[in-house]
Amino acid sequence: MASTQDHARLDDQLCFALYAASRAISGAYRQLLADIGLTYPQYLAMLSLWEKSGQSVAELGDALDLESSTLSPLIRRLESLGLVRRQRSDEDERMVHVHVTDAGWKLESRTAPVRQQVETSTGLSDTEFATLREALHHLRATVQGHPASSL
Amino acid sequence: MASTQDHARLDDQLCFALYAASRAISGAYRQLLADIGLTYPQYLAMLSLWEKSGQSVAELGDALDLESSTLSPLIRRLESLGLVRRQRSDEDERMVHVHVTDAGWKLESRTAPVRQQVETSTGLSDTEFATLREALHHLRATVQGHPASSL
DNA sequence: TGCATGTAAGTTGTGCACGACTGAATCGTA
DNA sequence: TACGATTCAGTCGTGCACAACTTACATGCA
């Protein structure tokens, strides 16, 4: 019967597989990050800031692929948690640099077990993990290089 | 230098690759679906309803892996667009069945080119597409079978 | 029949995510 | 040195996404 139907099936869609898997992973992180007091997007922003403290909002937006309209409130919440500090640039007063505070640095080591637990829960080998990650990075780059106007 | 750093790098995270790729794909759909008047989650809900009209909210939540608190307002918007109709069950008045209306059915054929365009923009062969899709379905199932309590 | 239990759906509150816009600062170029 | 275009952070409005809670109802069992 399934072979005779002309509907596009939800479970056949790559987009849905991606959407559902992404929410499943963020859900796994959510529970564990709750102990630390971070949401999942906040955790990703902190990951980027631990890697490079002092990024401007635009730089962080580049790294996370997010708009300033999303990041501004998120950074404000991180600031109110005392994890980061905003500093307006001296050279260019349009820019705001986001610095990790002492409290922010202290949090870094506490996230390692969270990462470990979620990675274990995926059941993937290191190779599978890396292969899937690169496939997804490549997919994103390809789709973003295909703006709707060119289709 | 990169080899000496002890930070967890954002771009090394599968979770981030997944998160970013998912947003990239939904962004690609967003632009094309705007012509049709649907958001991306609304489109996914309609996909499921076109496949099986008359599902209860809980069934739809099972298919999409979403809570009723997410679906209720989403369905309300679809109803106000005239694409679906709610009907409280006769046998069990707790349940609400969601039926596709004539206008809803008319929309179905208009989504095929959207799907086609996004699939093309991924640059994936049919085999790669299916392989990635199954890997993601499997990943989701594995992670959801690993509740945090068991870690 | 009466009541405890559990389940379906909806409500509320918080936090993304994005488009459209605003206002300030800077840059390019004449 | 004017001044229009651009860039940057931020605001606002809409729509998810989820947790916690409420309401309504059906069912099981005494």
Q: What is d(CA A140, CA A134) in angstroms, rounded to the nearest whole number?
A: 10
pTM above 0.85, yes or no: yes
> Which pLDDT value is given to residue B1?
47
Which tens digits make up the pLDDT trace of B22-43?
Answer: 999 999 999 999 999 999 999 9
Which residue in the set A31, A117, A136 is minimally distant from B18, CB to CB? A136
Which tens digits make up the pLDDT trace of B51-74?
Answer: 999 999 999 999 999 999 999 999
> Which pLDDT value is given to residue B147?
61
> Which pLDDT value is given to residue A150?
45
Torsion, Cα of B21, A38, B41, B62 (10° steps):
110
Residue A1 parent element (H or E) = none
Between CA B144 and C1' C30 the distance (Å) reads: 64
Report the pLDDT averaged over residues B140-149: 79
Considering only CA atoms, give the Rg of chain B.
19
Nearest CA distance, A72 vs chain B (angstrom): 18
CB contact under 8 A, B118 and A28: no
Q: What is d(CA B116, CA A150) in angstroms, rounded to the nearest whole number?
A: 14
Q: Which residues of A touch B51 (CB under 8 A)?
A: 7, 9-10
Asked if A17 and B65 count as a contact pair (C-beta separation under 8 A), the reply is no
Nearest CA distance, B3 vs chain A (angstrom): 13
**Residue B67 phi, psi (nearest 5):** -80, 160
A interface mutation test: which of B1, B18, B120 has the most A CBs within 10 A? B18
> Which pLDDT value is given to residue B92?
75
Which tens digits make up the pLDDT trace of A24-47?
Answer: 999 999 999 999 999 999 999 999
Pick from B35, B119, B43: which is nearest to A142 by CA? B119
Among all residues of chain A, which has the CA nearest to that of B34? A148
- How many beta carbons lie within 10 A of that of residue A117, not counting itself? 16
Between CA B49 and C1' C23 the distance (Å) reads: 46
Buried b / exposed e along A12-30 (16+ C-beta atoms within 10 A) = ebbbbbbbbbbbbbbebbe
Between CA B1 and C1' C14 the distance (Å) reads: 40
Between CA B73 and C1' C12 the distance (Å) reads: 13
Q: Has residue B146 got a pLDDT over 80?
A: no
Residue carrying the six token digits 């307002």:
B73
Q: Has residue B7 got a pLDDT over 90?
A: no
Return the percentage of chain B with pLDDT > 90, whole number: 83
Supply B60's token pair: 């739809």
Give the C-alpha distances (Å, rounded to integers) separating A97 from A45, A56, A102, A146, B82: 13, 4, 16, 31, 47
CB contact under 8 A, A25 and B132: no
Asked if B60 and B49 count as a contact pair (C-beta separation under 8 A), the reply is yes
Q: What angle do CA A9, A13, A17 make, to 5 degrees?
A: 120
Supply B106's token pair: 């008319």
**Per-position pLDDT tens, chain A of length 151:** 444 567 789 999 999 999 999 999 999 999 999 999 999 999 999 999 999 999 999 999 999 999 999 999 999 999 999 999 999 999 999 999 999 999 999 999 999 999 999 999 999 999 999 999 999 999 999 999 876 544 4
Among all residues of chain B, which has the CA nearest to that of A45? B10
Q: What is d(CA B138, CA B136) in angstroms, rounded to the nearest whole number?
A: 5
Q: What is d(CA A53, CA A61) in angstroms, rounded to the nearest whole number?
A: 14
> Which pLDDT value is given to residue A145?
86
Least reliable range by pLDDT among A35-44, B3-12, B75-84, B121-130: B3-12
Residue carrying the six token digits 């954002």:
B10
Asked if A98 and A81 count as a contact pair (C-beta separation under 8 A), the reply is no
Nearest CA distance, A118 vs chain B (angstrom): 8
Give B5's pLDDT tier (boundaries 50, 70, 90).
low
Which residues touch B140 (CB under 8 Å, ≥6 apart)? Answer: A17, A20, A21, A24, B65
> Is the CB of residue B46 inside 7 Å of nucleic acid strand D?
no
Give B149's pLDDT tier (boundaries 50, 70, 90).
very low
> Is the CB of residue B96 inside 7 Å of nucleic acid strand C?
yes
Buried b / exposed e along A67-94 (16+ C-beta atoms within 10 A) = eeeebeebbeebeebebbbeeeeeeeee
